Amino acid sequence: MTGSATPHRMRARSEFSSGEHELKLKPIKGRQLVLGLAAVLALTNSANAAAAETRSFVVNWFYLASYFGEGDCPDGLNPSAAEFYRRDLQRAGHSKEEIDAALKDFPGEGGAPQPWIPLVIVRGNGKDNIYAAPETAPDPRIKLVAGRFGYGFNLDGLGDKSPNSFEDPNTHERGINNQLYRALSCIRGFRGPASSGGPTKSNLDEVHWDKLREEMPAFVISITASNGFSTDGDVSIVIGRALETITRDASGANVQSGMTYTLDPNPRTRNVLTGHLHQGVISAASKEVNLLADNYIVNAFEFEKAHLRLNLKPDGTLSGMIGGYSPWYPLYHGMTVGGYVEEYASSVDLPGVYYALKKLADSDPDPATKENRAISAAYAIDAVPAFVLELGRQQSASLQPSPTDPKGQGQ
């Protein structure tokens, strides 16, 4: 039920003659190239000798870049909701009889009043809402990821010497900073199938993203390669939000490719990164990337010291990763608006998550308290081809597709 295309499916439609590239993910130092922002969507050719090319995509899947495999949670997974509620209510001083009665038909039916709900909401100190005031409860010290492998980027530049860092299981790059993964991925709801070639989606990731993409406008990516995509060269990438929501294809699970999206010009959600195409791998970076999402689920994806790594697959789709330091409190807040529903449905101990994020945050110290306000994170991206147009250009007469390139990306 995932969206990955098999090469066989697209055999009759392959247009990319990118040749046989060795798509080994060699570690690439994040060089920041200064590149002019000319022709981001390349409606005109650049002045370079080799023609510039633009390819655009719409994001199909966007999820925490997590590694699941042997040894990732050596102390086992975090407890289920019934278990940690029981534990917390005991600590809060309730009697065994009270707790048994409250949890008798746990969880009961959502929507109808359940005896355990009013108890767990204030299980910190018996009177304050624990989701708004998680520090009314002691730190339950949830189990963290303690394995060797993880996905993400070397954000602090320390490489091997970076404390609490991971090793990429495929490229073996060391010094991967992804404390968000460390905090969450031993929680049951955040578990996913074993990773082999790259990050895999956890249960909650699938749920959250599938709901999110249905309700918010689409995320789009437009890549302009100054020497075309078959040769190494500079790239400029726009990653932003469209005005339109996604349309699903006949499978229902994936976004339909080939649709047309208009880029939302709102600067709060339109980001430009510069970088390099080298042996088939696109790497780019930017001081910050902000993508507004949807208040109800995830307010925004924000990255400082943003890094982006993308691969164009032979079947025309795009896959890769974006990472950076994300403010940790909004991440907690996004989960906690779900309150006890988030907790009981997916066994997410919210105060536990609060403390874990706070402890693992590794960037942006608050000048007053000296506590870090941002946490290293990485998200995996799967995207399919699309037309992405700037607002106001959509009726341009020069927008004629090339008959030999039906995806019409090159002009």
Partner 1 sequence: MLTRHITRRSALRGVLGAATVSVGIPLLDCFLDTNGVALADTGAPIPTRFATWFWGCGLNPGRWEPKSTGKFDAFGPELQPLEAYRSKINVYSGLKVYLDGRINTVHFTGEVALLTGTVPHASTVEAPSIDTIIADAIGTRTRFRSLEVSCTGDPLHSQSRRSASAINPGEVSPVALYTRIFGPDFADPNAATFTPDPRIMAKRSALSVVAEERRDFMADLGAADKARMDEYFTSLRDIEQQLDLELQKPAPLEACSVPGKPDATPTGTEISVVQKNHKLFAGLLANALACGQTRVINIAYANANSSLRKAGASQTHHEYTHEEPVDPVLGYQPEMTTFYAAIMGSFADLLTALDSIREGDRTLLDRTLVMASTDSGYAKIHALDNIPLLTAGAAGGRIKTGLHVQAAGDPGTRLGLTVQQAMGLPVSTWGNASMETSKPISEVLA
Partner 2 sequence: MIPLTSIRRGSFRARGALAILAAASLLGSAYAAPDQSAQGAQSGPKVAARRLSEDQYRQAISDIFGPTIKVGGRFEPEIRRDGLLATGSGQVSVTASGLEQYDAMAHDIAAQVVSEKHRATLLPCKPADVKSADDACASQFLGTVGFLLFRRPMTNDELQSHTKIAGDTARSLHSFYDGLGEALATLIESPKFLFLKQGAEPDPDHSGQFRLDSYGKAIQLSLFLWNAPPDRQLLEAARDKSLETDHGFAAQVDRLMASPRLERGVRAFFSDMLGFDEFSTLSKDPVLYPKFTLKVVEDAREQTLRTIVDHLLTRHGDYRNLFTTPNTFLTTRLGSIYGVPVTARGGWPDAWVPYTYAKDDPRAGILSQISFVALHAHPGRSSPTLRGKALRELVLCQKVPVPPANVNFTLVNDVKNSQFKTTRDRLTAHRTAPTCAGCHKIMDPIGLAMENFDADGGFRTTENGVSIDTTGELDGMKFDSPAGLAKAVQSDPAATTCVLQRTYEYALGRPLGKGDNSTIKALSDEFAASGYKVPELLRTVARTDALYAVPRMDLSLNTPGAGAVGAAAPTGETR
Binding site for partner 2 (CB under 8 A): 9, 11-15, 243-244, 247, 249-251, 254, 256-262, 387, 389, 394-395, 399-401, 403-408
Q: Does 346 bind partner 1 (CB under 8 A)?
A: yes
Closest CA to 375 of 183, 149, 132: 183
Least separation in angstroms between residue 21's CB and partner 2 is 16
Q: At what angle do helices 81-91 and 339-346 cross, to 10 degrees?
A: 120
Of residues 125, 251, 266, 279, which one binds partner 1 by CB under 8 A? 251
Give the tokens for residue 164: 């609490």
Q: How far apart are CA 131 and CA 137, in angstroms?
A: 10
Quick one: how many helices (H) and strands (E) in the chain?
8, 11
**Interaction between residue 249 and partner 1 (CB under 8 A):** yes
Parallel, antiparallel or unpaired: strands 260-263 and 387-390: parallel
In terms of Cβ atoms closer than 10 Å to its own Cβ (0-12, 13-18, 19+), residue 105 is: exposed
Shortest distance, position 55 Cβ to partner 2, whole Å: 13
Q: How far apart are CA 320 and CA 381, in angstroms?
A: 5
- Output 81 or 306, the one with its CB closest to partner 1: 81
By C-alpha distance, which of 261, 263, 257, 318 is closest to 291?
263
Cβ closest to partner 2, residue 155 vs residue 263: 263
Sign of CA dihedral 277, 278, 282, 284: negative
Q: Which of 67, 261, 344, 379 binds partner 1 (CB under 8 A)?
A: 344
CB of 344 to partner 1, least distance (A): 7
> Among 22-30, 152-160, 345-353, 396-404, which window interacts with partner 1 (CB under 8 A)?
345-353
Interaction between residue 60 and partner 1 (CB under 8 A): no
Contacts (CB under 8 A) with partner 1, residues 184-203: 188-189, 191-194, 203
Q: Which residues bind partner 1 (CB under 8 A)?
A: 1, 80-83, 103, 105-110, 112, 188-189, 191-194, 203-204, 206-207, 210-211, 214-215, 245, 248-253, 296, 344-347
